């Protein structure tokens, strides 16, 4: 058959996946557009509304000196209270070593409670303008913090591990001696656990599981059990007795939550992590049960199976950042005893997209109202080095010193034909104009990967001469104030059946906004030979 020349424009239609490919059999549309349904690598990036990967922002330390030497930040919470003056006040509360600390929204943390269990996993619930603090350590009694004083929670509460507010009460569970018992406080009183309107409900006692998490959602309280058989239950009603008395309704058996801190809100739904490290949603569970294909994390199950330290999932945590339509989930990987990796769930796109953020190295995460950025919710991280960090800062570096390495790898694509041989005759990368360079790489079948260094400064190939030029000089789009241009890559050649692309950017305080990859190709004859 006669060869023909064709321009392919590659766009980004999916996030990180380990359970697909590494090939995507995508046929170009009539205009030559090729949409990658997933990415082999999506490291230290998020996704813009057009689907293009964008390097994550940098970090800056909230506390100028280490909170406690050699201690991980195990918990982080954004505590707001109204007080009597009608103006809200903000404090960031952390668990580190054997102490609970708080700041006055200024990064200077002071002890509010000492003598707690080292490395216990905390839980925080705001109720009646105070912060109810508990942990998974049986020796730690629940605490109440009013912004000034932290003291034992009154009303003879059990030593619960976690709690949540629901229907004007505090609900709590995770008591070692009664693992299936759900406690509730008196109405509008977090310091009364034995009065006439307080009480408890036993949820399938002696089923071999314990209550592992709670969430108030759509007028009901959802109770999760685990970590072995798993079950989820709904608590309906608004009072211990009467016409609208509390009632338990089983929701599903076979799934639950691995711990309370991995339950999160997104869209009009609730997500949670099960003991196999899969991330699921209540809506999908209601519609499909425990069907694996319905899990939010289905594209990355291979990674989870091979890397997660399952025995330490009790320390995993999640934070939903509404302003960015993302959820950050910390997990322990590769035999780590503490969380040391962040999974990023992007729910602005449908289906949801995943990325991985190793640069942040967080132990815990929280969504915090950020006074330095117009009071937008931002992701804050508690580090394994005793520092709390604000993320998504403009410098695109870790603490203005360490570079962030962004990597995007596409699947192999054969443009709808395994047997047709193609010849690559040139490439252009659609990127926003920024300082620094990117490394553009392409691999033809199993041949050696080839690379080129490309300037992001809006011009030509790094060191390019007379043959260098900028393709499609007009503005392709505006995103974050940056101009997208197709930057030509010189001497891009190779013969292939299928081809894979990779873009990396690891400069200190340098950005990456990737919009597209364009290639000029000559489509040749049929080939049945192995490469």
Of the candidates 194, 84, 234, the residue with the CA atom closest to the CA atom of residue 147: 84
- pTM attached to this predicted model: 0.93
In this structure, which CATH number among 1.10.3470, 2.20.25, 2.60.120, 2.60.40 belongs to the domain 4-57+407-526? 2.60.120
Give the Cα separation of 232 and 299 in Å (integer).
24
DSSP-derived 3-state class of residue 58 = strand
List the chain pLDDT tens, one digit each, 531 residues. Answer: 456 789 999 999 999 999 998 899 899 999 999 999 999 999 999 999 999 999 999 999 999 999 999 999 999 999 999 988 778 899 999 999 999 999 998 999 999 999 999 999 999 999 999 999 999 999 999 999 999 999 999 999 999 999 999 999 999 999 999 999 999 999 999 999 999 999 999 999 999 999 999 999 999 999 999 999 999 999 999 999 999 999 999 999 999 999 999 999 999 999 999 999 999 999 999 999 888 888 999 999 999 999 999 999 999 999 999 989 999 999 999 999 999 999 999 999 999 999 999 999 999 999 999 988 889 999 999 999 999 999 999 999 999 999 999 999 999 999 998 888 999 999 999 999 999 999 999 999 999 999 999 999 854 433 333 333 333 333 333 333 346 788 889 778 899 999 999 999 999 999 999 999 999 999 876 554 554
Q: What are the angstrom distances between the C-alpha of 443 and each of 33, 316, 411, 500, 526? A: 20, 37, 11, 5, 20
> What is the radius of gyration, based on Cα positions, of the chain?
26
Task: Find all residues with CB under 8 Å of 241, minimum gap 6, and list them.
Answer: none
Q: Domain-by-domain residue ranges, the chain?
A: 4-57+407-526
Backbone angles phi, psi at 275, to 5 degrees: -70, -15
DSSP 458-527: SS-BTT--TT--EES-S---EETTEEEEEEEETT--EEESSEEEEEEE--TT---BEEEEEEEEEEEEE-
DSSP 121-164: PEEEEEETTEEEEEES-TT---EEE-SS-EEE-SS-----SEEE
Give the Cα separation of 312 and 226 in Å (integer).
14
Give the Cα separation of 304 and 357 in Å (integer).
14
Give the Cα separation of 211 and 248 in Å (integer).
14
């Amino acid at each position: 058959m006669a060869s023909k020349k064709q321009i392919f424009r590659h766009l980004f239609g999916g996030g990180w996946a380990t359970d697909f490919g590494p090939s995507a059999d995508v046929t170009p549309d009539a205009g030559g557009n090729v949409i990658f349904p997933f990415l082999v690598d999506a490291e230290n990036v998020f996704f813009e509304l057009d689907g293009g990967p964008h390097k994550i922002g940098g970090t800056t330390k909230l506390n100028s000196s280490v909170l406690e030497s050699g201690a991980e930040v195990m918990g982080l919470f954004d505590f707001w209270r109204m007080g009597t003056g009608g103006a809200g006040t903000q404090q960031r509360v952390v668990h580190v070593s054997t102490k609970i600390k708080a700041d006055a929204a200024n990064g200077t943390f002071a002890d509010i409670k000492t003598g707690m269990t080292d490395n216990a996993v905390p839980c925080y619930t705001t109720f009646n303008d105070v912060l109810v603090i508990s942990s998974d350590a049986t020796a730690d009694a629940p605490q109440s913090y009013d912004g000034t004083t932290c003291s034992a929670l009154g009303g003879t509460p059990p030593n619960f591990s976690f709690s949540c507010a629901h229907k004007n009460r505090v609900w709590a569970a995770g008591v070692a001696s009664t693992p299936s018992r759900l406690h509730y406080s008196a109405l509008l009183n977090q310091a009364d656990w034995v009065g006439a309107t307080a009480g408890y409900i036993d949820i399938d006692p002696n089923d071999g599981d314990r209550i592992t998490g709670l969430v108030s959602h759509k007028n009901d309280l959802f109770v999760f059990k685990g970590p072995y058989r798993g079950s989820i239950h709904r608590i309906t009603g608004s009072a211990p007795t009467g016409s609208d008395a509390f009632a338990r309704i089983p929701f599903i058996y076979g799934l639950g939550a691995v711990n309370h801190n991995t339950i999160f809100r997104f869209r009009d739904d609730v997500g949670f992590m099960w003991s196999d490290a899969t991330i699921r949603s209540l809506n999908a569970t209601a519609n499909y049960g425990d069907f694996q294909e319905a899990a939010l994390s289905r594209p990355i199950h291979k990674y989870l199976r091979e890397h997660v330290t399952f025995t330490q999932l009790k320390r995993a945590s999640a934070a939903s950042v509404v302003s960015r339509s993302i959820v950050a989930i910390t997990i322990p990987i590769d035999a780590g005893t503490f969380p040391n990796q962040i999974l990023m769930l992007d729910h602005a796109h449908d289906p949801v997209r995943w990325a991985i953020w190793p640069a942040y190295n967080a132990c815990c995460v929280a969504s915090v109202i950020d006074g330095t950025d117009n009071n937008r919710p931002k992701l804050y991280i508690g580090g394994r080095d005793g520092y709390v960090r604000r993320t998504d800062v403009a410098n695109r570096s870790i603490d203005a010193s360490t570079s962030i390495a962004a990597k995007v790898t596409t699947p192999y694509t054969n443009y709808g034909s395994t047997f047709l041989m193609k010849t690559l005759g040139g490439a252009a990368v659609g990127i926003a104009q920024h300082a620094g360079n990117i490394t553009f790489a392409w691999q033809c079948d199993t041949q050696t990967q080839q690379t080129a260094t490309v300037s992001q400064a809006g011009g030509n190939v790094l060191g390019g001469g007379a043959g260098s030029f900028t393709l499609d000089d007009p503005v392709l789009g505006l995103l974050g104030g940056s101009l997208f241009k197709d930057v030509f890559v010189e001497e891009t050649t190779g013969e292939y059946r299928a081809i894979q692309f990779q873009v990396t950017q690891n400069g200190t305080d340098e950005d990456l906004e990737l919009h597209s990859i364009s290639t000029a190709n000559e489509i040749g004859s049929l080939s049945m030979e192995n490469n």
